[in-house]
Structure 1
Amino acid sequence: MTAPTPRRAVLVAALAVATAATAATVSGGSAEAAAPSGPPAPPAPRGPGRPVDNRFWYSYAHWLAGTHQGTTAVGGARPGLEIGTPLGRTEYADPHTGKKSTWEYATWTSPPHRSTVPATEAIASWNARTPAGTWIQVELCGTYADGTHTPWYVMGRWASGDRDIRRTSVDGQTDGRSTVWTDTLAVDAPASGLRITGWRLRLTLYRKPGADRGPTVWLAGAMLSDVPDRFTVPASTPSGQAHELQVPRYSQETHAGRYPEYDNGGEAWCSPTSSQMIIEFWGRKASATALTWVDPKYADPQICHAARSTYDAAYKGCGNWPFNAAYAATYRQLAGVVTRLCSLTDLETLIRAGIPAITSQSFTPQELTGAGYGTAGHLMTVIGFTAAGDVIANDPNSPDNAAVRRVYKRREFENIWLRTKRHNAAGKVASGTGGICYLYAPAVPSVAQIVALRAVGVL
């Protein structure tokens, strides 16, 4: 089990070219041919009362917009952002290795986005390809309701590998009004009424001097939210339809003690284990070459690989939510983002469209019947619902792979996942995740998947 930083959120969505895919379906053409050529459309209005706003850039038109300093938009089946003519060179001293290296770099700054929700929290997401000798930095600058701005906060320094730099969040970032907690930008005193009403994103792409190609960013953006403080949440009404997706089952506990340099080994690998289940549900797997470093005596070596590939050197754990989403998107034509959902009805909508989800929750042993444990923070994969509306989950905190599938009571699961306040085992008030979820799905979703993602506020 993992105990993530309080109030962090993760959801991953199939976004990368959804708008183009929709147009292609309607017109009968290809997704590439249907890519929009004009300026990005404004975000679709959200449903009444939904306390979450998502905005992501992923189309060729999106990448043409914004401010380019050495970057260029690239087209194709999966449009992206790359280095054109580097802006210059800079030196980066890796705080986790002490290694100093010189890099060419270029930057792209998004257009300003005005959130549909005046927010207390913001979480960035990105999908990128970072071959050897490249990496990216993602920053976010928020606008407060009074028109002033936050600093440019670093939301992640990221590469899919760990040979050039160590993947890391950045501690100690604050302006006295808001603070970055690992992967979440949070208003320090929400009760004061202070809110973030807009934001911009800045991407800096790095490569070794003289290289022909740099990294490619396929998707970037953020989720803003203002979930009210609550110990309990309203009960949703079950759909009455049983539906279960056949998602592979993996236990984190079978990896206990392995590679303790990555978050103390498998006992804390709930996040990468959950990520790997859904990656393989979509038919993707790590290559044999990628797994050569894993001891051949270990079963399911891809779980060890997922842990190494999501490890945050500053957080010293594998539970950084955007890092998990970014890892999923390193697989062929998969996309991933971080968001919040508002009810189990949202999850049922996604499951019926064939999209499983990873949820984050905290609870005592008495609060989730059948779990047999308590946790300050744990990720599991929701794969379906019974006819009565109970939740079918692949819970990685299980003794072996065969025991991973669980059925949890609907009302209990909904409350421990969506609440923002709880009483811990010591009886003290602690935080809850407020509906955090990862979604991984095809970069070009089906029409049914697009409809579902729009219904839950992701598109």
Structure 2
Amino acid sequence: MRRLPPLAAASAPTLAPTLPRTLAGTLAAVLVTSLGVGLLGTVPGAPAAAEESAVTAAAPARKIDLTRWDSTRRLRRGNLSGTRVAAGRVEFDERVRTRRHAGTRYDVAHWTSPWRAPGFSFTNLIASWSARTPGDSWVEIQVRGRSAANGGSRTNWDTLGRWAASDRHLRRSSVSGQDDDGTSVNVDTWRTGGLASYQVRVALLRRTGTGAMPSIDLVTAMTSRLPTRAGATSRPGPAAGKVLAVPRYSQMIHRGHYPAWGNGGEAWCSPTSTSMVLGYYGALPKARAYRWVPRDHTNPWVDYAARMTYDHDYDGTGNWPFNTAYAAPRAGKAFVTRLRSLREAERFIVAGIPLVVSIAFDRGELDGAPISSSGGHLLVIRGFNKAGDVVVNDPAAANNKGVRRTYRRDQLEKIWLEASGGLTYVIHDAAHPLPESSGRW
């Protein structure tokens, strides 16, 4: 379980305290941007000005920026050190140095993004990636920032995650702490006192003496500075009455499964939600991948997802970008972002893209929920009824049949925006491109 830390108010550039995160993880499906200018797109047939007015009224002062490097052209804008770009991927080319990790020596190469200024003083950054890590190879994601004052002084490089698709050679982990220069890492989130720009650096590592070729085809960075209150409830929009056919999986039927990876049950909301979205795309892992799961385990691909998203430093399956990194090569693309309202979420439903979102709530704040409260929980938004209320797959239900629920729009939007700032996983395939945006993402 993972308790969501409090959001830092937009008016207060101080670091928020780091707290453990609870219930079923912490995830949230989805957003989108090409070269990070903003979060507001245009639904086909909807007037852009009217859409922007509707979203802005419901989301005061929500500063969010997502930058994507996900094509040959964009990846070539970064600095290559021992790497090359080909066919939309950054590949290991030659070692620029070696380093030891967990007793093994690795060759190292790097890709470093250009400096990126989102246009506001950001207090949070979450990176996402999609990588291939054959054999004994892995990737390490780092970030550093630069202030607007003091001549643009730079912070140290902080490590956000060490990741591999398999756990055969690497204990996949975040690196919380690193609070030596006014910034810190809380599981998957880089917290600052307010910085003007940043760089992301990806190290590609392979065991010395091998020919493994680690590579990446997507790097994103989402920065934000948010108010603590949700504001007025957004008005229903173009997705009213549209519900996607997302399969229903309960996390609770896995209670007691694999203590080494969280023990199932309430701890597995994130990999269960991610698996529901992969099931929607027909992109679940093949049976041979989880043949080690006992035959009497229902939905064994959820056990597999929990193992492949487990963060050994955090001791849980609720690391947001670890879940999207697991989903990305299976579906096509996946990343973590924040949305400003359910009106924005509707754009994805219209495009046929279900979202995973991160919420937290107290008793009486979410009518019809299968649990009375949660300090941090993930579920899937699969659509909206004709009144604009939200149709979800909530994995906290006791069984698969009870997973589908309908939650009041005002209640869900409030506990989503105020608990996680609208945190979302966007997972999509080639048949479901991101919503039209008039070039804004």
Whether the TM-score (by the shorter chain) exceeds 0.5 is yes
Match of 2:356 in 1: 358
Question: Could you report, residue by residue, the CA deviation over 1:333-354 in whole angstroms, capped at 9, with x for unpaired residues?
Answer: 5211111000010111111111
Q: Indicate yes or no: 2:401 matched with 1:392.
A: no
Letter in 1 for 2:100: E
- With structure 2 as the length reference, what TM-score do the two structures score? 0.86
147, 153, 159: which is aligned to 1:154? 159
2: CA distance between counterparts of 1:91 and 1:456? 44
1:36-75 → structure 2 map (5 Å cutoff):
43-44=36-37, 50-75=62-87
Residue 258 of structure 2 corresponds to residue 234 of structure 1: no
Residue in structure 2 matched with residue 206 of structure 1 by the alignment: 205
Counterpart Cα distance in 2 of 1:375 and 1:455: 38
Q: Which residue of 2 aligns with 1:29?
A: none
SS in 2 for 1:126: strand
Give, in angstroms, the shift of residue 118 of structure 1.
Answer: 2.0
**Structure 2 residue 187 is the aligned partner of structure 1 residue 182:** yes
Paired residues for 1:69-84 under 5 Å = 69-75=81-87, 79-84=88-93
Q: How does 1:5-16 map to 2 (within 5 A)?
A: 5-7=5-7, 10-13=27-30
1:87 has 2:96 as partner? yes
Tell me which residue corresponds to 1:338.
Answer: 336
Name 1:281's counterpart in structure 2: 280
The superposition leaves residues 214-269 of structure 1 with CA deviations (integer Å, 9 ceiling, x where unpaired) of: 21101012100001122x42111112721100001000000000101112323210
* Aligned residue runs from structure 1 range 190-339, under 5 A: 194-230=193-229, 232-239=230-237, 241-331=240-330, 333-339=331-337
| Partner SS, residue 351 of structure 1 | helix
User: Does the C-alpha gap of structure 1 residues 124 and 205 become closer, same or farther in structure 2, counting only changes over 3 Å?
Assistant: same
1:377-432 per-residue CA deviation (whole Å, 9 max, x = no partner) reads 0000000001111110000000100000000011111111111xxxxxxxxxxxx2
CA distance in 1 between counterparts of 2:263 and 2:287 reads 24
> Would you say the 8 A contact 1:12–1:339 is kept in 2?
yes
Consecutive unaligned residues in structure 2, runs of 5 or more: 8-20, 41-55
User: For residues 165-219 of structure 1, what are the alpha-carbon distances to aligned partners after superposition, in whole Å with 9 as ceiling and x for unaligned?
Assistant: 10000122113422111110112xxxxxx41211111110011223333211010
Work out whether 1:368 is the aligned partner of 2:366.
yes
Q: Tell me how many residue pairs correspond in the alignment.
A: 401
Which deviates more, 238-247 or 197-206? 238-247
For 1:99-120, what per-residue CA distance to the aligned partner results, in whole angstroms no more than 9, with x for missing partners? x111111111111111133211
Q: In the alignment, what sits opposite 1:139? A: 142
Q: Gapped runs of 5+ residues in structure 1?
A: 20-41, 94-99, 188-193, 420-431
Question: Is the partner of 1:369 in helix, strand or coil?
Answer: coil
SS in 2 for 1:115: coil
Please report the RMSD computed on the Cα atoms of aligned residues, expressed in angstroms.
2.1
Q: Structure 2 vs 1, CA of residues 256 and 43 (structure 1 numbering), >3 Å: closer, same or farther?
A: closer
Task: Measure the CA separation in 2 of the matches of 1:101 and 1:381.
Answer: 40
Where 1:373 maps in the other structure, the secondary structure is coil
- Which among 434, 438, 453 is matched to residue 425 of structure 2? 438
Q: Supply the distance in 2 between the matched residues of 1:216 and 1:206 (Cα, whole angstroms).
A: 10
Q: Contact 1:127/1:336 (CA < 8 Å) preserved in 2?
A: yes
